[in-house]
Amino acid sequence: MDLNLVIPTTPNPNISEFRQGDRITVTVKVREGERERLQAFEGDVIRKRGRGLGSTFTVRRVSHGIAVERTFPYYSPSVESVKLVRHQKSRQARPYYLRSLYGKAARLKEDRRRSRR
């Protein structure tokens, strides 16, 4: 029995397709007391894991010289949308090596081949 089918879940249609290494913008719902607002988080995907309801992806961004990595559950209703900003080339499935690089070296090249399509 497939436990992922126990509670019917449809993938969020606002999550566009992306690969490891791509630059994406994740819009998350943030609750502040009563109010709910949206917050954007833009960075490179350094991990996509799991299938089914437990899937998550991790986005790394560097802001003001400080790197922040955030992991989002793929099926969480608090993930409002994911927009692909730029196709980028990554030979690794999990480009963790970006952690040991900083500045210009920590950039990934654009994957023009995929962008054209």
Partner 1 sequence: MKGILGKKKGMTRIFTEDGIVQPVSVIEAGPCVITQVKTHQTNGYQAIQLGYQDARNLNKPMSGHLRKSAPMKHLREFRTDDLAEAQLGQKINVDIFQPGDLVDITGISKGKGFAGGVKRYNFSGGPKTHGQSDRWRAPGSVGAGTTPGRTFKGTKMAGHMGSRKTTVTNLRVVHIDAERNLLLVKGAIPGGSNSVLIIKQSKKRI
Q: Point out which residues bind partner 1 (CB under 8 A).
A: 1, 3-4, 6-7, 29, 31, 52-54, 73, 75-79
Least distance from C-beta 80 to partner 1, angstroms?
A: 10
Cα 88 from chain centre: 13
3-state secondary structure of 100: helix
Comparing CA positions, the residue from 116, 7, 23 lying closest to residue 62 is 23
Least distance from C-beta 113 to partner 1, angstroms?
A: 36
Least distance from C-beta 78 to partner 1, angstroms?
A: 3
Between 25 and 55, CB nearer to partner 1? 55
Between 3 and 105, CB nearer to partner 1? 3
Q: Which two tokens stand for residue 31?
A: 């609750």
Phi, psi of 34 (to 5 degrees): -90, -35
Between 29 and 99, CB nearer to partner 1? 29
